Amino acid sequence: MPWNSQGGGGPWGGGGNNGGGRNPWGQRPQGGGGGGGNTSPDFDEMIRKGQERLKRLFPGGGGGYKGVVLIGIAIIGIWLLTGFYRVQPGEQGVTLLFGKWVGTTGPGLNYFLPAPIGEVIKPNVERTNQIEIGYRGNGTGTGGARDVPEESLMLTGDQNIIDIDYVVQWRISDAGAYLFNVRDPENTIKLAAESAIREVIGKTNLEEALTVGRVRVEEQTRTLLQSIMDGYASGIFIAEVKMQKVDPPRDVIDAFNDVQRARQDRDRSQNEALAYRNDIIPRAKGEAERLVLEARAYKDQVVKNAQGEAERFISVYNSYLTAKDVTTRRLYLETMQDVLKNSNKVILDQNGEGANGVVPYLPLPEIQKRANAGGNN
């Protein structure tokens, strides 16, 4: 047989070319001498020793396989217990089964199959995130923002160019849709916001966008952006769109400011003219109305006086026709009364001159003055 060498001692005997009875791995047989010893691993012995160790570990004597089953059950139980998880306030739990989104849980203690079968992702849904568009801040709040003209320059409804820097504030409304329906949420919001504000500004004049229309532009942009994100089923809520800077392009801002100052001067002059007009016109109207009323009153007075004089003359004439002497004397007396009533009068009694030592003199004006003074007192 080929295993029998001439030197004897079997295939690993002491003779032959193997030298000193070594086996092909360079080891001497444990049996010693020239006999053919077996050095291959004894698997039965290894299994037997493993069973003995299990028996010592489980002294109940139930056998090695029973112990293995118990260990397996314990491991599975511990693995299942790792499926409990807690969702903090302000978070949502997104449960995945073999990587597929199968549900969403709210705050509190929940359970789902543990890894590697199941997985739970817990994003914060109450934190407000912010995206800067048209500029990039330095993150310290100390200024020094870098302008991004390709994002901020846009065309207005009256074919002017405007430079707008703004921020978009957003939150997660549906964590599952946010994680699995949109690949890059922030970039999606940024691109959609640029499209929305350009559409709104394209329908707005430059003057309105710079002054009174800012709030309207912000609200319309937010509404349009929210409708776009809802169309993507993104699970994103747009909280607010705030315009930070609204100016003409930097190259023409000086000329634009000159135009604005000229418009302000024009508006101021117009306001002053309107104020003067509002002051002078009512006063002129009032004065004209007063003159008209006075003229009407004077007309009525003159007409009434003329009518009264005419009626009095007719009455006197009728009296004259009836009694000429009496009427003539009455007219004479009335005329003399009208002539003499406002003149200073002194009466001298010539017939009583020197009588009883009394001076024939009666100062009527002085008596009248004294009578008026006594009445006032």
Print the SS3 string covering the chain.
CCCCCCCCCCCCCCCHHHCCCCCCCCCCCCCCCCCCCCCCCCHHHHHHHHHHHHHHHCCCCCCHHHHHHHHHHHHHHHHHHCCEEEECCCECEEEEECCEEEEEECCEEEECCCCCCEEEECCECCCCEEEEECEECCCCCCCCCEECHHHHEEECCCCCEEEEEEEEEEEECCHHHHHHCCCCHHHHHHHHHHHHHHHHHCCCCHHHHHCCCHHHHHHHHHHHHHHHHHHCCCCEEEEEEEEEEEECCHHHHHHHHHHHHHHHHHHHHHHHHHHHHHHHHHHHHHHHHHHHHHHHHHHHHHHHHHHHHHHHHHHHHHHHHHCHHHHHHHHHHHHHHHHHCCCCCEEECCCCCCHHHCCCEEEHHHHHHHHHHHHHC
State the average pLDDT over residues 203-214: 87
Enter the tokens of residue 246.
């609204």
State the average pLDDT over residues 242-254: 84
Per residue in 278-319, pLDDT (tens digit) is: 999 999 999 999 999 999 999 999 999 999 999 988 988 888
Q: For the chain, what are the domain ranges?
A: 66-122, 129-250, 253-336
Per residue in 11-45, pLDDT (tens digit) is: 334 444 444 444 444 444 444 444 444 445 576 77
Q: 151 and 134 in contact (C-beta within 8 Å)?
A: yes
pTM above 0.75, yes or no: no
Label residue 59 by pLDDT band (50, 70, 90).
Answer: low
- The listed CATH number (3.30.460.80, 3.40.50.300, 3.60.20.40, 3.30.479.30) that belongs to domain 129-250: 3.30.479.30
